[in-house]
Amino acid sequence: MDLWITEYQTKNQKISCRVKETLHIEKSKYQEIVLVDTDEYGRMLLLDGAIQTTVKDEFVYHEMISHVPLFTHPNPKKVAVIGGGDGGTIREILKHKSVDKAFLVEIDQRVVELSKSFLPEISAALGDERAKVCIEDGIEFVKNQKNEFDVIMVDSTDPVGPAVGLFAKDFYRSIHDALGEDGIFVAQTESPFFNKELISSVFRDIKSVFPIARLYLCFVPTYPGGLWSFTIGSKKYDPMDVQEVITDGMGCKYYSREVHKAAFVLPPFVKELLE
Amino acid sequence: MDLWITEYQTKNQKISCRVKETLHIEKSKYQEIVLVDTDEYGRMLLLDGAIQTTVKDEFVYHEMISHVPLFTHPNPKKVAVIGGGDGGTIREILKHKSVDKAFLVEIDQRVVELSKSFLPEISAALGDERAKVCIEDGIEFVKNQKNEFDVIMVDSTDPVGPAVGLFAKDFYRSIHDALGEDGIFVAQTESPFFNKELISSVFRDIKSVFPIARLYLCFVPTYPGGLWSFTIGSKKYDPMDVQEVITDGMGCKYYSREVHKAAFVLPPFVKELLE
């Protein structure tokens, strides 16, 4: 059998991975959900044709979206993830002993259910007693919270379909108000190589809402171009000034104190997107 | 027309780019050489089916292979590039005013000729009076030099076919002897995600030949996984201690003093390859 799954990463570029087995395909209320087992990356989740996460490379994205803001905040107790239905971000958050409660706010219940069934390595922490899964629209959830959270993470799909509203200034304002006075917000903000305009406009919007705005980078082999960005909005703590980072026992494969600091060093072609 | 060019990046992963026009296809004495014009990356050079360089993303690789060793050495005058027939590395080297002479030692004359014809943005510096193109086997060239060069860069294809000997310990020994007493050697050393064993063994070999061995990283969208490595062997100067870096007027889009330093910060999963 010569079976391949292909993502159009842009109109003009495709990535294809050899498939051992198709595990599940369905159209949920919100999107097409596909789970396949690949030779290169193990099990893989795709939403509307875009690779979301794979067993082999998910550690990079999940460590970097969570540990950078969590180690920036001196004592994060209450954390929310908007999106991230596979549970990988929750798993990393719960490695922080200070965290009492981690909310997963996912619009599509089927993503959570299927991740539990097919991606146990990624989703297992959703069963932790400190995790609370809320199946609802992240935009509505955030609007109803005031001064509640230490860290909010937007672990969204690309800015098409259900995720469009998660890249809007109004949403960033709601997040600002849902955070405590020293709260920190982070969002995945796509590729500096292929989504230059998006990165510029999101950064400008976040900078207009939060006193501190920072962009940082990591690499994800299954995302377009391999280089990926996150943007932080922070009320008090600058993630570039992070001091105490103790990752002992956390099993980090990508994140470290040094990687945290280096991730904020931007090549000139990325820096100029923020000017 | 719906025309695509596809590279098998591994046995189980392919990248495909939409093609506007096929410019040239030939079998040289050493390899298949293909030049196409793509929608995403502009003109692209492929050797034996593997993407070597593209007009849109070549700046990352060429800046990082050259400026990291050249700014580490306080006064590089005589430099050699083994491979690199497209001329992009020579272009970056000649931005350093201290350099009197830059040798391009390329085994395949046709790569040089076709790059001159089809990739002028990349190859133009090959016409500079400080550049000397030598069409010969890099291994033989290096063997015949003693205490001659300040910096030697191995800008090779993947370790298959004509490039196998460029990833061998004997070759590193020859390079050591071809360098002056404070000389620096750098080689492209593939992907930390897909070529783990190669990186480990090359690093061990280089460390056994040079007193200082360091690995650094950058991202190249058209290379497998997007994350790419270079390994340095140095007789005297540690690239992690780089001091004076003045890039004014060099038009760097990826390299900067800060990027230089950050490139040596390795995620734990890369660090463990070097232990």
Beta-carbon neighbour count of residue A74 at 10 Å?
A: 13
**Token output for B77:** 């005058």
pLDDT score, position B160: 87
Q: How far apart are CA A117 and CA B210, in angstroms?
A: 51
pLDDT score, position A243: 84
**Token output for A208:** 């207009």
Torsion of CA A275, A63, A158, A49, to 10 degrees: 150
Half-sphere exposure of B82 (CA within 13 A, CB side): 28
- Considering chain A, what percentage of its residues have pLDDT values greater than 70? 100
* Inter-CA distances, A157 with A230, B17, B59, B228, Å: 13, 23, 29, 26
- The answer on A164 and A253 residing in a single domain is yes
Q: Counting runs of H as helices and runs of E as strands, what totals does chain B give?
A: 9, 12
- The answer on A142 and A24 residing in a single domain is no
- The answer on B133 and B223 residing in a single domain is yes
Confidence of residue A1 (pLDDT cuts 50, 70, 90): confident
pLDDT score, position B230: 98
- The answer on A30 and A105 residing in a single domain is no
The last residue of a domain, from among A36, A53, A70: A53
AA letter at B139: I
- Of residues A108, A150, A155, A205, which has the active-site annotation? A155
Residue B219 with chain A: CB contacts under 8 Å = 219, 225-227
CA B226 to chain centre: 15
- The answer on A236 and A254 residing in a single domain is yes
Q: Which residue shows structure tokens 């796509």? A: A190
* DSSP β-bridge partners for residue B141: none
The single-letter DSSP state of residue B243 is -
Confidence of residue A117 (pLDDT cuts 50, 70, 90): very high
**Complex prediction ipTM:** 0.96
pLDDT score, position A162: 78
Q: How far apart are CA B191 and CA B163, in angstroms?
A: 16
Q: pLDDT tens digits for chain B (275 residues)?
A: 899 999 999 999 999 999 999 999 999 999 999 999 999 999 999 999 999 999 999 999 999 999 999 999 999 999 999 999 999 999 999 999 999 999 999 999 999 999 999 999 999 999 999 999 999 999 999 999 999 999 999 999 999 887 899 999 999 999 999 999 999 999 999 999 999 999 999 999 999 999 999 999 999 999 999 999 999 999 999 999 998 899 999 999 999 999 999 999 999 999 999 99
Q: Is A165 helix (H, G, I), strand (E, B) or coil?
A: helix
Q: CB of A151 within 8 A of CB of A73?
A: yes
Q: How far apart are CA A209 and CA A213, in angstroms?
A: 9
| CATH number, domain with residue B47 | 2.30.140.10
Domain boundaries, position B90: 58-274
Q: How far apart are CA B117 and CA A136, in angstroms?
A: 58
The number of C-beta contacts closer than 8 angstroms across A and B is 109
Alpha-carbon gap: A235 to the closest alpha carbon of chain B (Å): 26
- The answer on A93 and A207 residing in a single domain is yes
- The answer on A44 and A78 residing in a single domain is no
Report the relative pairing of strands A13-27 and A32-38 from DSSP bridges: antiparallel
The tens digit of pLDDT for each residue in A15-74 reads 999 999 999 999 999 999 999 999 999 999 999 999 999 999 999 999 999 999 999 999
- The answer on B226 and B163 residing in a single domain is yes
- The answer on B160 and B146 residing in a single domain is yes
Residue contact B225–A221, C-beta within 8 A: yes
In terms of Cβ atoms closer than 10 Å to its own Cβ (0-12, 13-18, 19+), residue A5 is middle
- Closest partner residue to A14 among B16, B225, B252, by Cβ? B16
* DSSP β-bridge partners for residue A36: A22, A44
The tens digit of pLDDT for each residue in A186-223 reads 999 999 999 999 999 999 999 999 999 999 999 999 99
Mutate which: A19, A227, A261, A266, vs B, most B CBs within 10 A? A227
Q: How far apart are CA B32 and CA B242, in angstroms?
A: 39
- The answer on B44 and B77 residing in a single domain is no
Report pTM. Answer: 0.97
Residue B21 with chain A: CB contacts under 8 Å = none
pLDDT at A244 over 90: no
AA letter at A164: V
- Closest partner residue to A259 among B16, B223, B265, by Cβ? B265
Half-sphere exposure of A84 (CA within 13 A, CB side): 36
Q: Nearest Cα to A194, choosing from A270, A272, A83?
A: A270
**Number of domains chain A contains:** 2
- The answer on A78 and A23 residing in a single domain is no
Confidence of residue A249 (pLDDT cuts 50, 70, 90): very high
Mutate which: A4, A8, A59, A258, vs B, most B CBs within 10 A? A258
AA letter at B174: S
Q: CB of B187 within 8 A of CB of B154?
A: yes
Nearest CA in chain B to A63: B267
- The answer on A220 and A117 residing in a single domain is yes
| CATH number, domain with residue B134 | 3.40.50.150
The tens digit of pLDDT for each residue in A156-182 reads 999 988 789 999 999 999 999 999 999
Please give the positions of B annotated as active site. 155
